[in-house]
Amino acid sequence: MTGRYPDAVDVAVVGSGPAGAAWARTLHENAPQLRVAVFEVGPVLSDPPGDHVKNIADPRARRRAQRASEGPAAEADADQPPASADGRRGRPGTFLLGDGFAAGGTGLPVGAMSSNVGGMGAHWTCACPRPGGTERVDFVEDLDELLDEAERLLGVSAQALADAPLAGQVRRLLGAALDADRPAGRRVQPMPLAVRREVDGTGAGRLHWSGPSVVLGDVLDHGVGLHPETLVERVLRDDGGAVRGIAVRDRRDGTAAEVAARVVVVAADALRTPQLLFASGVRPRALGRYLNDQPQVLLAVRLPDEVLAGDPVDEHAGTAIDGSSGVSWVPFDDDRHPFHGQVMQMDASPVPRPDLPADRPGAYVGLGWFCAKDVREQDRVEFDESATDDYGMPAPRVHYGLTAVDAERLAAAKAAITAAARALGRPIDDAPIELPAGSSLHYQGTTRMGRTDDGTSVCDVNGEVWGVPGLFVAGNGLIPTETACNPTLTTVALAVGGARHVAKNLAHRTEGGDGS
């Protein structure tokens, strides 16, 4: 041991979000003899570590957990996340990119991260739609089986909120307008969510939102190490370029240490995974490039009185609407509807409307349509050798903009969301609202996987970085396709694939006497 760290492990996982958690769980399930440890720059928020903050019942304790996730500038007792000098503010549990957010183009004004055990996965909305058509990574041969396993690890169910107040009416109306000619499985349906309904003694349902604690299962009780408040500063390599370990800094007392590892998995989000590779001198051409933030439009409607009248309140006794729960899903469809539609019902109008009556839960419906970005090499996060971020790592500089193709897709998305909203009722706003870049929180592409090492990808289909034996990457950054749907299910699926590959190889080498 070096202080609180082991001297050596078989696999060091950097980052404890859904991607890092899926690696740790899969490694342990497939090769329990391997020594696996997870290193995380942020603090533990919950018991068990990595639980979703929505499961913290006390609002003050939940707020404290959110502030503790918002990086070095957050104030523990503040009501809100920290604001930037120009007034930009992240969502609770996240903090924004620093002044490099727009080094070129429009940048990502609300590009955000979370630093805590569980990462953004302790704060997410838990929507887990499957990718369809061109969203899918077509060279991952066993993608469907990996997605099945990802659903198991995340505890995904389409039923947990399917009977939420008025949800059936919403799906009926949307389906009538949008389902014609859609293949089975890609019609309007309840959103698959990483949520489970726990029924208590009174029969009332309490929702448990899946954070990375669910993905981890019980592996922390069976030898997998977790090292919170630990910044991984560099991946260490031997003279031949192969991985030999990591250099870490204990955030509690500032001491530095090295941990030897046969394999290092960097699952440090789509902005900081390339940062750590850059800091380690691993700089393939595609690193940080092909940055993809899904452009997004919103529109809210109120369901008409006749629809409310057809769905008596008491049919839903014991169910509840949650302000940020995805309830219904309009799947991406290349030919008919190249957008991902997420339909969230609310207790109250998102826009204060004193002219409208106070309503019953679910009467207001927020529609969010995500577009696939026109992915380009020049949209990128690069890193500054001469400046550092609040953790002392190379400062990110974002070059990002929308293209003429993106403008067309956004115009089409606005038309599509307006049509969907009108199928439901009366839109509250005159026109769809276009959100600033970075709002999706689904950044992808910055460590993309590829079939071959042709300069347009960073890693192979298992996540192993081209030309750096033993170095793997994980997270949304791996996704190379122009997706519109939420990425975490795919990310966990790809992590499972990589971890199975490593478990097999390392276990085999260990059995063969290679104890390196």
Residues forming contacts to ligand FAD in the complex (CB under 6 A) are: 14-20, 39-42, 91, 93-94, 114-116, 119-121, 123-127, 231-232, 267-269, 272, 276, 441-442, 475-476, 486-488, 491
Side-chain half-sphere CA neighbours of 5 within 13 A: 30
CB of residue 407 to ligand FAD, shortest distance in Å: 25
Which residue spans within 201-333 are E strands per DSSP? 205-209, 225-227, 230-237, 243-250, 256-266, 296-302, 326-330
**What burial letters (b/e) apply to 308-336, b meaning 16+ CB within 10 Å?**
beebeeeebeebbbbeebbbbbbbbbeee
Closest CA to 157 of 208, 85, 119, 232: 208
CB of residue 262 to ligand FAD, shortest distance in Å: 19
121 or 425: whose CB is closer to ligand FAD?
121
248 or 363: whose CB is closer to ligand FAD?
248
Task: Give the tokens for residue 205.
Answer: 């349902």
User: Distance between CA 144 and CA 148 in Å, rounded?
Assistant: 6
Question: Any idea how long the chain is?
Answer: 516
User: Distance between CA 55 and CA 502 in Å, rounded?
Assistant: 33
Which amino acid is it at 493? A
CB of residue 393 to ligand FAD, shortest distance in Å: 6
Task: Give the tokens for residue 213.
Answer: 């604690």
Residue 357: exposure state from Cβ atoms within 10 A (0-12, 13-18, ≥19): exposed
Catalytic residue among 227, 316, 442, 501: 442
Q: Is 28 annotated as catalytic?
A: no
308 or 459: whose CB is closer to ligand FAD?
459
CB of residue 272 to ligand FAD, shortest distance in Å: 4
CB of residue 21 to ligand FAD, shortest distance in Å: 7
Task: Give the tokens for residue 24.
Answer: 């740790």
Helices (H) and strands (E) in the chain, counts: 9, 21
Task: Give the tokens for residue 161.
Answer: 């909120």
249 or 302: whose CB is closer to ligand FAD?
249
Which amino acid is it at 465? V
CB of residue 416 to ligand FAD, shortest distance in Å: 20
361 or 475: whose CB is closer to ligand FAD?
475
161 or 232: whose CB is closer to ligand FAD?
232
What are 9's strand-pairing partners? 261
Cα dist from 474 to 90, 158, 199, 250, 499, whole Å: 24, 26, 35, 23, 10
Rounded to 10 deg, the angle between the 18-30 and 488-511 helix axes is 30
User: Distance between CA 80 and CA 99 in Å, rounded?
Assistant: 20
CB of residue 236 to ligand FAD, shortest distance in Å: 14
67 or 123: whose CB is closer to ligand FAD?
123
Rounded to 10 deg, the angle between the 143-154 and 488-511 helix axes is 100
User: Distance between CA 120 and CA 388 in Å, rounded?
Assistant: 22
Task: Give the tokens for residue 444.
Answer: 């992808």
94 or 189: whose CB is closer to ligand FAD?
94
CB of residue 224 to ligand FAD, shortest distance in Å: 16
In angstroms, the first-to-last Cα distance of the chain is: 17
List the catalytic residues. Answer: 442
